[in-house]
Structure 1
Amino acid sequence: MSGNASAPVGPRPPGKHQLALMIWLAVFPTLTAINLAFGDWLSTLPALLRTFVLATVAVPIVIYGLMPLLHRLRARLLA
């Protein structure tokens, strides 16, 4: 089979402003939920450790959970 077969083309990657909005839409509610759920416990930690815990929990949720969902939603909206 030759390499000339054309595959369906999906939407272009988001621009930097769209990506910034998508990241904000993922990060803000994630941090809010973590703070609401664990705020009392987190408030007992020093600021540096509190930030480390928040980032350690929030980053995988955002990267592996919410960003793929937002990319699929964006692709559906653009289709």
Structure 2
Amino acid sequence: VGAPVGEEPVSGLVRAFVTNGRQGINYHRGVWHHPVLTIEKRDDFLVVDRSGTGNNCDEHFFKEEERLVLAPHQ
């Protein structure tokens, strides 16, 4: 689940992607994204992150009225 780069994520621009389970994903710097999700009861992930000083995580909490419901793409 991700949204374009910006000061804050825009709820109308959030998109979810489904992979085949054998794909990797690489986010560009500044892209808003949710931690990795799974629809399976149990799954394994390998996360490679950057090292170094500085803030590596900005959190954003949507307001209750901004609840996101992701509909399947037709």
Structure-1-length-normalised TM-score: 0.19
* Bigger fraction of residues in strand: 2
Which structure has more RCO (C-alpha within 8 Å, separation ≥ 6)? 1
Structure-2-length-normalised TM-score: 0.20
Pair member with larger Rg:
1
* Bigger fraction of residues in helix: 1
